[in-house]
Amino acid sequence: MIDKPREKALEILAHVEEGGFADSYLDQARRHFDSRDSAFLLELVFGVLRHRARLDWTLDQFSAQPVAQTDVRTRNILRLGAYQMLFLNKVPVSAAVNTSTELAKEYGRKSGYVNGLLRNLDRRKKEIAEPSSPDPIKRLSILHSHPAWLVRRWVARFGPERTEAVLRENNLPAPLIIRTNTLRTTRDALKASLESEGAAAAATKYSPAGLEIVSSPGLQSLSAYHKGWFLVQDEAAQLVGMLLAPRPDETVLDACAAPGGKATHLAELMKNRGRIVAIESDAARIGRIEENRERLGASIIEPVRADAARFREGAFDKVLIDAPCSGLGVLRRHPDGRWHKKEDALRERAKAQQSILKNCSSLLKPGGALVYATCTTEPEENEGVIAEFLGKAEGRFTIDDPRPGLPEAARKLVDDRGFFRTFPGEPGMDGFFGARMIKAR
């Protein structure tokens, strides 16, 4: 009988390699497993994706042909088996080999090849050395399973030692962070509620509303979730809302707002007084904004389906542009992204970001503040976008110091140009960039 979590992991990995996204498949699949098998499924899928290049390099040492030349099912069966053998100490080698062989009988049709290769790997795994190459980019790319083009960029900016530390951090599981809904409770009261129901939580270092969930019986099973006392949101994303520093009774535009995490945070900072227009171009994602608005009681949010590059309705005291980007700052949360993203897409992203920034900035009232933010690491989408925008603005916008809106501990995350960034200096958070600008009166 085929092991169900491993079978589902194989299905998801094959979909990802054919262009799909792991998160959506995992969200659907995990509903059909108990907590133990659900956690194992997540470990298998994310583990293989985080270490895929290293796994392929290792398997190639024992295969007559590169595993990349076999079919998509067979190579992912091999990756699953090798990941369990090399990275999961609690899984017996016999279980890893036998379940992989059974999967190959059903899907890969190369069970002898799979069985023989994995058994050979087990016999000789003490002989495996770390990848070596005279090219440091290639070595780091294989060792830490990141695309060579991205490693090359980071080595050029940060040097090989700092880059290797970042790559290593990227392969660790991301912390689970929640934001207290201050419209309904306090962080201390939320923490006490969580702990009374078997969860363990710790206060975040920078955000005064954040808690790191160390363990829990399942967030959606907790009464605090159903009361709307919190929302899952990384600490860096929480700080982005604070960069804007909205006040009660202001009118705010949140461009590219789904799923509503930052919009609901803005409502909390505004004490649910004023108006937030939350625009989103994807009709299906509008529902996520509405769902979070209702659960958290952020009634001042008005979801609107619109294109942020063309929306023309209203004048706003504050504008937040959480721009669509390459997402290179959140690869630890979305490890499949490293295998989908291409370097030449950065310039195309930047063009779209410029269009959104140009349009939404025109809706800002004189003297108003605008925050441009991304969860990417690359200058083309960050400093480059800001430089081009300011050049064309001809003095109508200036960079503003965002530190007064941040908690004191987070002010060190703003550089001498006034740019907020959490990459690579703060590996405990997602990689975000933010710039606060003021429109001339």
Mean pLDDT of 266-287: 96
User: Is residue 2 within 8 Å of 102, Cβ to Cβ?
Assistant: yes
What span, in angstroms and rounded, lies between the C-alpha atoms of 83 and 44?
8
Together in a domain, 203 and 100: no
User: Is residue 424 within 8 Å of 162, Cβ to Cβ?
Assistant: yes
Q: What pLDDT was estimated at residue 168? A: 95
| Bridge partner residues of 210 (DSSP) | 179
- Of 185, 206, 232, at which residue does a domain stop? 232
Domain count, the chain: 4
Together in a domain, 385 and 360: yes
Contacts of residue 25, Cβ cutoff 8 Å, sequence gap at least 6: 11, 12, 15, 16
* Separation of first and last alpha carbons in the chain: 71
- Segment (H or E) for 83: helix 72-87
What span, in angstroms and rounded, lies between the C-alpha atoms of 162 and 323?
27
Predicted confidence (pLDDT) per residue in 296-350, tens digit: 999 999 999 999 999 999 999 999 999 999 999 999 999 999 999 999 999 999 9
DSSP state letter for 305 = E
Together in a domain, 381 and 264: yes
Together in a domain, 390 and 248: yes
Mean pLDDT of 204-232: 96
**Across all residues in the chain, what is the average pLDDT?**
95
Mean pLDDT of 173-179: 95
CATH code, domain with 15: 1.10.940.10
Q: What pLDDT was estimated at residue 421? A: 96
Token pair 């050049």: residue: 391
Predicted confidence (pLDDT) per residue in 112-163, tens digit: 999 999 999 999 988 888 888 889 999 999 999 999 999 999 999 999 999 9
Tokens standing for residue 265: 């945070």
Together in a domain, 265 and 147: no
Helix segments in 19-71, DSSP class H: 22-30, 35-50, 52-60
- Of 232, 252, 277, at which residue does a domain stop? 232
The letter for the amino acid at 425 is: G
What span, in angstroms and rounded, lies between the C-alpha atoms of 44 and 63?
22
Together in a domain, 185 and 76: no
Q: What pLDDT was estimated at residue 425? A: 78
Mean pLDDT of 381-404: 96
Strands 200-203 and 210-215: antiparallel
Separate counts of helices (H) and strands (E) for the chain? 18, 12
Together in a domain, 117 and 260: no
CB-based burial, 30-63: b 16+ in 10 Å, e otherwise? beebeeebbebbbbbbbbbbbbbbbbbbbbeebb
Instruction: Please state which of the ranges 83-97, 210-224, 232-246, 421-435 shows the lowest mean pLDDT.
Output: 421-435
Q: What pLDDT was estimated at residue 352? A: 96
Mean pLDDT of 388-416: 96
Together in a domain, 149 and 218: no
CATH code, domain with 214: 3.30.70.1170
For residue 281, name the pLDDT band (cuts at 50, 70, 90).
Answer: very high
Together in a domain, 224 and 306: no
**Nearest in space to 83 (alpha carbons), one of 127, 61, 53:** 53
Over 80: is that where the pLDDT of 108 sits? no
What span, in angstroms and rounded, lies between the C-alpha atoms of 390 and 394?
7
- As a whole number of Å, the CA-based R_g of the chain is 23
CATH code, domain with 383: 3.40.50.150
Over 80: is that where the pLDDT of 165 sits? yes
Together in a domain, 282 and 423: yes
Boundaries of domain holding 61: 4-127
Q: What pLDDT was estimated at residue 378? A: 97
Over 90: is that where the pLDDT of 260 sits? yes
What span, in angstroms and rounded, lies between the C-alpha atoms of 8 and 66?
25
Over 90: is that where the pLDDT of 428 sits? no
Q: What pLDDT was estimated at residue 134? A: 84
Together in a domain, 397 and 411: yes
Strands 251-255 and 275-280: parallel
Predicted confidence (pLDDT) per residue in 344-376, tens digit: 999 999 999 999 999 999 999 999 999 999 999
| Bridge partner residues of 201 (DSSP) | 213
Q: What pLDDT was estimated at residue 109? A: 78
Please say whether the dihedral angle defined by the alpha carbons of residues 267, 270, 272 and 278, taken in this order, is positive or negative.
negative
Q: Is 360 a catalytic residue?
A: no
Catalytic residue, candidates 256, 325, 360, 375: 375
For residue 391, name the pLDDT band (cuts at 50, 70, 90).
Answer: very high
User: Is residue 330 within 8 Å of 431, Cβ to Cβ?
Assistant: yes
Together in a domain, 281 and 201: no
Q: What pLDDT was estimated at residue 276? A: 98
